[in-house]
Amino acid sequence: MSNKRTVLTGLGAVTPVGNNIKDFWDAVVTGKTGVARLSAFDPTPFSSQIAAEIKNFNPTSYMTPKQEKRLDPFVKFAIVAAKMAVEDAMFDRDKLKSERAGVYIGSGIGGLHTIEKEHKKYIMNADESQAASRMSPFLIPMLIVNMASGIVSIEVGFRGPNSAAVTACATASHSIGDAFRIIQRGEADIMLAGGSEAAITRMGFGGFCALKALSTHNDDPEKASRPFDRERDGFIMGEGAAVVVLEELEHAKKRGARIYCEIVGYGMSGDAYHMTAPDPCGDGAVRCMKASLKDARLNTEDVEYINAHGTSTLLNDKMETNAIKTVFGDYAYKLAVSSTKGVTGHLLGATGGAEIIACAKALSEEVIPPTINYEHPDPDCDLDYVPNEAREKKINVAISNSLGFGGHNVTLVVKRYDE
């Protein structure tokens, strides 16, 4: 088996705090949140009335108006983020071997906008035979999860490995980790990988409200997402896409690519515990972090920063804190740990992509993002969460945790690039 080195050479993101990397990173570092009262529809009937929505999104510079009408929002987000990452990587497209370049972009939920729109069209017709004839011929290709990866490959001309993970909040991290393995095995030189989500619809939002998973700090939206804070009461539903370019090191060096960092470890595990609740002992997260460090051939003391899953829910933040302390022991108290979800909200299937970008920028810019809205220390969450203000520090190794419904856990390890 080959064991080729893999680096990140391109970043792209569509997020509630900016539809490009500069705006996203500036917001993450300064703590400018994208959470506000929900505007897509009247949220009054719901227990939670706040969200982190995409703003000022205009995809027409990346696709034609005709094409835009035939795509679900989650696919549009993915196309824009992917093309942005390709532009950032500065490829000479004429010199690429397209069969050696692939795409691995997933979604936790997929085309929920399309499902709701077409279902409404169906039930509004009393005659079922007529209703069926009114269905859009694009219904299925607009809603299926793999279409983000499929359409992106068409748009950028990458004909290599192509797939899509579907693991709830761990989706983007699984996609990036699996793409890392593909390059490591020598099956591709370039992979576009990440996740996309556009599930802020009446049904999607209502479902999470029914689950009692969302924050109800409706009177103060900007402070509603407060990871690790004692007053946390649920996550903030977000949307968007985040895609990175992974590239085999020698391929990147040969073309003189800018390298953000090296991806060196990938661990995953299953809780085998509960449909939505995390194992309170954190066993799955513990095994996942340990597996990633073993894969990276690093010791716990080599890690300097953890971008935590940190959802701002009572159970997750307590569990993740316990898991970090189990893995790192006393050294856990010397680590910088932060969650960027106070700024972005929870991007669901896209969140791991946004957070690995935050890690890559933390390494390249030598700045650790803060955990905003941290005001009330919780005795169950007693680590250094980089409260409220970014911290200038040169770090060499960072890890990113993603923990999804169903007990899906992923940890990615990135390292400052060193010849």
| CA–CA separation, 227 and 35 (whole Å) | 14
309, burial (CB in 10 Å: exposed 0-12, middle 13-18, buried 19+): buried
Of 169, 209, 359, 381, which is the active-site residue? 169
Angstrom distance (rounded) from CA 255 to CA 6: 15
- Residue 358 CA to residue 352 CA, distance in Å, equals 10
Q: Cβ-count burial of 419 within 10 angstroms (0-12 exposed, 13-18 middle, 19+ buried)? A: exposed
Gap between the terminal Cα atoms of the chain: 22
Q: Which residues of 67-96 are buried (b: 16+ CB within 10 A; e: fewer)?
A: bbeebbbbbbbbbbbbbbbbebbebeeeeb
Catalytic residue among 209, 346, 381, 408: 346
Residues 111, 196 contacting (CB under 8 angstroms) = no
346 is known as an active-site residue: yes
Asked if 169 is an active-site residue, the reply is yes
d(CA 381, CA 398): 20
Q: Give CA–CA dist 386/128, Å, rounded.
A: 57
List 113, 174, 251, 309, catalytic entry = 309
- Using CB atoms within 10 Å of the CB of residue 218, give its burial: 0 to 12 exposed, 13 to 18 middle, 19+ buried: middle
* Cα diameter, the chain: 68
**Catalytic (active site) residue 408:** no
Give CA–CA dist 309/170, Å, rounded. Answer: 9
Catalytic residues: 169, 309, 346
